[in-house]
Chains A and B, each alone.
Chain A
Amino acid sequence: MSEPKAYTVSIYTENNIGLLNRISAIFQRRHINIESINSSVSEIENVSKWTIVVKLHEEQMKKIIGQIEKQVEVIKAYFHTEDETIYQESCLFKIKSNLLFDERRQIESIIKDNNARIVTVNREFFVIEKSGRKEELEVLYRELSVFGIMQFTRSGRIAVTKDEMKISKMLEAFQH
């Protein structure tokens, strides 16, 4: 058996209530932890796109894709390795405003060095946003954590594939 690897699962679905339950149940039933999950609109009108990150053996991954595709409201599911996708995550840090005006201006240089940006500033706190790979986000987290983080949140992975996804063609084929 191959080593477990991180896979990005992309699922195109109808936009219906209850599908989250149906898809997450496929993982839950097999005792598989979902590393991250994101649902959004896709490039096609009325078609949702899910991006799920899981760590699995390839054989297991293939079987799960089969189970996902089997769901009536799933149009198509794919899985990709890290080097087959362009992916990003996004995170927000809420930090006390007084730290921004510290004489050493350490925070300012951290923001610059990490290609992060300040979203908002007010008297009590300011918010830093950073998009990138999980590792980059983790570096920023470590650097900021010494100053004290009031709140932190990270999004699920979003990804596009290097290969073409032929969903539109599949849907067109159904119309005829």
Chain B
Amino acid sequence: MKDTQTLEKEQSTATKTVRISGSEAIIRCLIAEGVDILYGYPGGAIMPVYDELYKFRDQIHHVLTRHEQGATHAAQGYARISGKVGVAMATSGPGATNLITGIADAQIDSTPMVCITGQVASHLLGSDAFQETDIIGISTPVTKWNHQITKASQIPEVIAKAFYIAKSGRPGPVLIDITKDAQFEQFDFSYEKCKGVRSYNPVPKTDIDDVKAAALLINAAKKPLIVWGQGVILSEAEEELKAVIEKTGIPAAWTILGASAVPTAHPLNVGMVGMHGNYAPNVLTNECDLLIAIGMRFDDRVTGNLATYAKQAKVIHFEIDPAEIDKNVKTDVAVLGDAKESLSQLLPLLKANSHEEWHQKFKDLYAIEYEKVIKDDLYPTKEGLTMGEVLKEINIQTKGNAAIVSDVGQHQMIACRYAEFTTTKSNITSGGLGTMGFALPAAIGAKMSAPKRDVVAIIGDGGYQMTIQELGTIFQQRVPVKIVVLNNEFLGMVRQWQQLFFEKRYASTEMTNPDFVAIAKGYYIDAQKVTKREDLKAAVAEMMACEGPYFLEVCVEKEDNVFPMIPTGASVSDIRLE
């Protein structure tokens, strides 16, 4: 039984009934959900909705991207930097299919996103009508939920549900497909936010006995290691995590998507795990006596060979998604629930500690990594520029306050390794799917969502050309993003693998590139190209000082490799430094 207060509150969130079209209802639903910006591309089957967007343009800002894939990545960037639901819109057929890459990316990286697609009129469904495609069928395996609307009256409830499902629990993308006749249809509209779906339990209840069992193991451990992931950021548990590590003195490492939850400079932050992560946390994963995983999913790029991953350690897994428990790594204690909640419950049960001897091992291994890898990456003595020194210069000039949006490949690994973060939600990259072309549009969404923050996109010359047309969006919308292309004239990561594992047979990885500066200038974006070390500092300064968007191309060493590296199938402790 609900109390009167709750009932009153619920009634006040419901809007009054008015008779309007389905397409107007869609816009009103979006406004009611707090959507201020959405990204999309018009076309036949979504035109009634665009007509309403025109009428509501003072309340909701639609950003025309240059390709629907760009709309999804922009919505992702918007979501990742703010924690809010990103929204993308497209027409039926090719418009809808072009969303799929971004949707798959959001699914694997747990990004809250609602995609709305137009569809042919309901009487044409299944007739192979112009621009008809079965987008519900196509998007099913890559969405958290999807639904087709064929009657206007379904719009409010389904859209409310879409936002609720996208954001709650482990977030993810939702696609709503709306037939054109439903967009035109008049109906009695009222809106009420979704408060629950009976078949869906977004946040499993944390069992205090599991928390106690975890605390027992943590308090008894001699060599514990925390590995946190994006779950910490998604549940906004950064302070709780920090409190746990500061009280217990446990060294804490992060997955790519977990980066920035705890500042890079924090003394207990021991770096990144995984294929190109730091030496110490990877090697010591196979030496710790307790592995405490928080909001991460033991991705294969993190674990390397599972048969030799942390076999000596007991494993605790704090996780919101029950399907992740024991999926890849067998746990001794699983603590289900929201990380913010479970870590709050854990904290008072923990004993203060410092683990000094254990920390010394991390420091010793860091010293080795510094000598063999980091020193030459950040302070190179060779003639050619390194990607690492570009990152270092950006760190210095932004004081670590910029959000770094990286694409996929060598530059991404360098960005994640060397970016110095002071603020959470600052590492925006395509982790699980590895979507080249992600960064440029994602940076647009991130900057528009957080206009006061510096947003620097770090992109390779390959990925840049996959969504380069979004320069048009940047120009038209005057989005002051800083675009840094680290140009090595190669698809660098693939080339690195060809060098290491395919005897230098550089099959289709060499790029003959256009004049990137001319292209940026073609879009009236200030641009320059740096080829010498002595020009780097001034160029970065000019970029950061520029009020509008800026394009900086840095020509880096062509055949540098990213180390450390765990070759596929190798153990985390067999990480290579050269």
A residues touching B (Cβ–Cβ < 8 Å)?
A: 13-14, 16-18, 21-22, 25, 29, 62-63, 66-67, 69-70, 72-75, 171, 174-176
Which of B137, B200, B325 is close to A72, meaning CB atoms less than 8 Å apart? B200
Stretch binding the partner chain, chosen from B138-146, B266-274, B402-410: B138-146
Interface string of B98-138 (1 = CB under 8 A from A): 00000000000000000000000000000000000000110
Alpha-carbon distance A18/B150, docked complex (angstroms): 14
Interface string of B140-179 (1 = CB under 8 A from A): 1100111110000000000000000100000000000000
Q: Does the CB pair B141–A13 fall under 8 Å?
A: no
Known contacts being A17-B148, A18-B140, is A70 close to B199, with CB within 8 Å?
Answer: no
Q: Does the CB pair A18–B323 fall under 8 Å?
A: no
Alpha-carbon distance A13/B198, docked complex (angstroms): 10
Most buried by A among B145, B146, B198, B324: B198
Residue of A nearest to B134 (CB): A21
User: Could you say which residues of chain B place their CB within 8 Å of the CB of A66?
Assistant: 322-325, 327
Can you list 10 A-B contacts with CB-CB less than 8 angstroms, sorted by A residue number? A18-B136, A29-B141, A63-B326, A70-B322, A70-B323, A72-B144, A72-B145, A72-B165, A73-B200, A175-B198
Which of A14, A18, A67 is close to B199, meaning CB atoms less than 8 Å apart? A14
Give the Cβ gap from A117 to chain B, nearest Cβ, in Å: 39
Alpha-carbon distance A16/B200, docked complex (angstroms): 14
Known contacts being A17-B148, A63-B326, A70-B323, is A75 close to B199, with CB within 8 Å?
Answer: yes
Alpha-carbon distance A18/B139, docked complex (angstroms): 11
Main secondary structure of the interface of B (DSSP, over half): mixed
Alpha-carbon distance A171/B196, docked complex (angstroms): 12
Q: Does the CB pair B140–A13 fall under 8 Å?
A: no
Count of A-B residue pairs with CB < 8 Å: 50
B residues touching A (Cβ–Cβ < 8 Å)?
A: 1, 136-137, 140-141, 144-148, 165, 196-200, 321-327
Give the Cβ gap from B10 to chain A, nearest Cβ, in Å: 15
Beyond the given A72-B144, A72-B197, please list 12 additional residue pairs across the A-B interface where CB-CB is below 8 A: A14-B199, A18-B140, A18-B146, A18-B147, A18-B148, A21-B140, A22-B141, A29-B141, A66-B322, A74-B199, A75-B199, A175-B198
Q: Does the CB pair B196–A174 fall under 8 Å?
A: yes
Residue of A nearest to B322 (CB): A66
Alpha-carbon distance A62/B198, docked complex (angstroms): 23
Alpha-carbon distance A60/B156, docked complex (angstroms): 39
Give the Cβ gap from B399 to chain A, nearest Cβ, in Å: 41
Q: Does the CB pair A174–B148 fall under 8 Å?
A: no
Residue of B nearest to A74 (CB): B199
Alpha-carbon distance A14/B165, docked complex (angstroms): 15
Q: Does the CB pair B140–A70 fall under 8 Å?
A: no
Most buried by B among A14, A21, A75: A21
Q: Does the CB pair B199–A13 fall under 8 Å?
A: yes
Give the Cβ gap from A74 to chain B, nearest Cβ, in Å: 6
User: Could you say which residues of chain B place their CB within 8 Å of the CB of A14?
Assistant: 199
Q: Does the CB pair B140–A69 fall under 8 Å?
A: no
Residue of B nearest to A68 (CB): B323
Alpha-carbon distance A18/B321, docked complex (angstroms): 23
User: Could you say which residues of chain A place their CB within 8 Å of the CB of B322?
Assistant: 66, 69-70
Alpha-carbon distance A22/B145, docked complex (angstroms): 9
User: Could you say which residues of chain B place their CB within 8 Å of the CB of A73?
Assistant: 145, 199-200
Q: Does the CB pair A70–B146 fall under 8 Å?
A: no
User: Could you say which residues of chain B place their CB within 8 Å of the CB of A29?
Assistant: 141
User: Could you say which residues of chain B place their CB within 8 Å of the CB of A72?
Assistant: 144-145, 165, 197, 199-200
A-B complex: 10 closest residue pairs judged by Cβ atoms: A66-B323, A174-B198, A75-B199, A72-B145, A25-B141, A72-B200, A70-B323, A21-B140, A22-B140, A73-B199
Give the Cβ gap from A150 to chain B, nearest Cβ, in Å: 33
Q: Does the CB pair A21–B137 fall under 8 Å?
A: yes
Give the Cβ gap from A16 to chain B, nearest Cβ, in Å: 8
Give the Cβ gap from B106 to chain A, nearest Cβ, in Å: 15
User: Could you say which residues of chain B place their CB within 8 Å of the CB of A21?
Assistant: 136-137, 140
